Amino acid sequence: MRDVIIVGAGPGGSATAKHLSEKGYSVALYEKRQEIGAPKRCGEGISLGRVERLGLNPPKNCIRQKIDGAKIYAPSGKAVEIDYGKDSGYILERKMFDKWLAEEAARKGAFVQAKTYIKDVVRERGRVSGVKGESCSEKFEEKSKILVAADGVESKISRVAGLNTTCNPLLIDSGVQFEMAGIEIEDPKKIHLYFGNKIAPRGYLWIFPKGKDVANVGIGIIGNCTIPAIDYLKKFVENKEELKKGSILEVNAGSIPVGGFLKKMTLDNFLIVGDAAYQVNPIHGGGIYEAQFAGRIAAEVIDEALQKKNTSDKQLNKYNIEWWKQRGNSLRKIEKLREVVENLSDEDFNYLADKLTGEDLVNFTRGNSLVTLAKLLLKRPHLIKLAKALF
Ligand SMILES: Cc1cc2nc3c(=O)[nH]c(=O)nc-3n(C[C@H](O)[C@H](O)[C@H](O)COP(=O)(O)OP(=O)(O)OC[C@H]3O[C@@H](n4cnc5c(N)ncnc54)[C@H](O)[C@@H]3O)c2cc1C
């Protein structure tokens, strides 16, 4: 019997596996795909501060481009620039990065197995007590004291385990991305974000450079949009001289949670980590950091539960409490910001682009200084109600 089985070797699953293995537990990490990290479903952006906060030192082959700021474009075309004057983020190569995270877990002693699909949970006296799956075409069953679902936004494991994780479909954005080559990037050290209801309803388009002439060019928009996200993306590419002559090396699509954080992420012997629990920053859709941070909290809570030989829901509830204290409350504030942003017209965006600085925008994405935004919105009578939500 394993101490812990983890389903899904994305950043959340691998981080949980690494932290638990280094504490000496017997951990199995199962991934359905034949190659961990591929295909990617990600713009691959992460800030340096987040990498440092996770205590990571990724090898060079995981980092495609160092970033020193951002250009954020209003519908009018006006750009608000954030320039840190030094490296402040990475565009990763997720195929290498995710594999490296799994390697780190394996190095600490976790048993990692790709091409292993977990179909169901095993139960004893009504409690989750392991998994049933198929590994390289062979059926198997394995028991564990604790099961962790880190199986991404489409998580099935939480549901078969008995947790209701259904969320409002309006809280799931639709993402599509082309990895493009042979394009021209005005400033390859900056990420470029484009806002506007006509080009990306309730979302944005991005160009995340992976070199001078290679980039992830993508879009995330409200999930129930009548026009598919890929049509908006194609139009964006066709309308940009610097992109339209480029080649498309990869097409990636996926869902992006933008809120709906779960109050309850635990059962007896069971908890959820990462996208499977919608642990994503709701304003920009970034979840690489959130999944790993949650994995670290989960590992601490599991460690205590295993030491106490008490893996009940009541004991694991510490994970709910700690995650909300350390991340949830701040992400909930950012969700409120997203609720405000999705109600802005293109004219409102243009107005804000004239008033706000790059520093303001960075603060907002972290849930800070929202009062600054609220005060600006109060000056627009039709936005007074929205502004009040930010105080
Ligand atoms: C288009 C797009 C762009 C994005 N851009 C960014 C970005 O620039 N920066 C950022 O921080 N975030 C970004 N994200 C979000 C980010 O990719 C996720 O938040 C992050 O990968 C979450 O990590 P995770 O470990 O929770 O889940 P995942 O990375 O989704 O990993 C879950 C794993 O579980 C496996 N799995 C699922 N079911 C089973 C099963 N039954 N058995 C075994 N294995 C299973 C899957 O194959 C997968 O490998 C983007 C997302 C999308 C869709």
- Tens digits of residue pLDDT in 339-379: 888 889 999 999 999 999 989 998 998 888 899 999 999 99
Instruction: Specify the pairing of strand 204-209 against strand 266-267.
Output: unpaired
Ligand 1 site, residue 287, Cβ cutoff 6 A: yes
Q: Reply yes or no: is the peptide bond before residue 75 cis, omega within 30 of 0.
A: no
Residue 322 confidence (pLDDT) above 90 = yes
**Which part of the chain has CATH 3.50.50.60?**
2-56+94-166+260-333
Identify the residue whose C-alpha is closest to ligand 1 atom 29: 10
C-alpha to C-alpha distance for 144 and 89, rounded to whole angstroms = 38
**What does the DSSP 8-state code read for residue 318?**
H
CATH fold for domain 66-89+169-257:
D-Amino Acid Oxidase; Chain A, domain 2 (3.30.9)
Query: Stretch 252-281: mean pLDDT, rounded?
Result: 96
Ligand 1 site, residue 274, Cβ cutoff 6 A: yes
Residue 383 confidence (pLDDT) above 90 = no
Can you give the pLDDT at residue 50? 96
Ligand 1 site, residue 288, Cβ cutoff 6 A: yes
Measured from the Cα of 252, ligand 1's closest atom is: 1
pLDDT > 70: percent of the chain = 100
C-alpha to C-alpha distance for 310 and 389, rounded to whole angstroms = 41
Chain centre to alpha carbon of residue 257: 8
Q: How confident is the model at residue 60 (pLDDT cuts 50, 70, 90)?
A: very high
**Which part of the chain has CATH 3.30.9.10?**
66-89+169-257
How many angstroms does the Cα of residue 92 sit away from the middle of ligand 1?
14
Ligand 1 site, residue 117, Cβ cutoff 6 A: yes
C-alpha to C-alpha distance for 56 and 49, rounded to whole angstroms = 10
Residue 238 burial by CB count (10 A; 0-12/13-18/19+): exposed, middle or buried?
A: exposed
Ligand 1 site, residue 254, Cβ cutoff 6 A: yes
What pTM was estimated for this model as a whole? 0.96
346: Cβ–Cβ under 8 A, 6 or more apart, which residues?
75, 76, 196, 197, 198
Beta bridge partners of 123: 128
Euclidean distance between the first and the last CA atom of the chain, given in angstroms as a whole number:
51
Ligand 1 site, residue 285, Cβ cutoff 6 A: yes
Residue 202 confidence (pLDDT) above 90 = no
Ligand 1 site, residue 44, Cβ cutoff 6 A: yes
Measured from the Cα of 13, ligand 1's closest atom is: 25
Can you give the pLDDT at residue 386? 84
Query: Stretch 277-297: mean pLDDT, rounded?
Result: 97
Q: Give the CATH number of domain 2-56+94-166+260-333; options: 3.30.1370.10, 3.50.50.60, 1.20.1560.10, 3.40.640.10.
A: 3.50.50.60
Ligand 1 site, residue 75, Cβ cutoff 6 A: no
Query: Stretch 62-72: mean pLDDT, rounded?
Result: 96
Q: How confident is the model at residue 223 (pLDDT cuts 50, 70, 90)?
A: confident
Residue 225 confidence (pLDDT) above 90 = no
Can you give the pLDDT at residue 272? 98
pLDDT, mean over the chain: 95
Query: Stretch 203-230: mean pLDDT, rounded?
Result: 94
Q: How confident is the model at residue 385 (pLDDT cuts 50, 70, 90)?
A: confident
372: Cβ–Cβ under 8 A, 6 or more apart, which residues?
356, 360, 363
Query: Stretch 80-90: mean pLDDT, rounded?
Result: 94
**Strand ranges for 86-225 from DSSP E:** 89-92, 111-113, 116-124, 127-135, 138-149, 172-181, 190-194, 204-209, 214-222
Contact predicate 28/178, CB 8 Å: no
Out of 134, 174, 256, mutate this one to test ligand 1's pocket (max ligand atoms within 8 Å of CB): namely 256
- Tens digits of residue pLDDT in 115-148: 999 999 999 999 999 999 999 999 999 999 999 9
Identify the residue whose C-alpha is closest to ligand 1 atom 39: 151
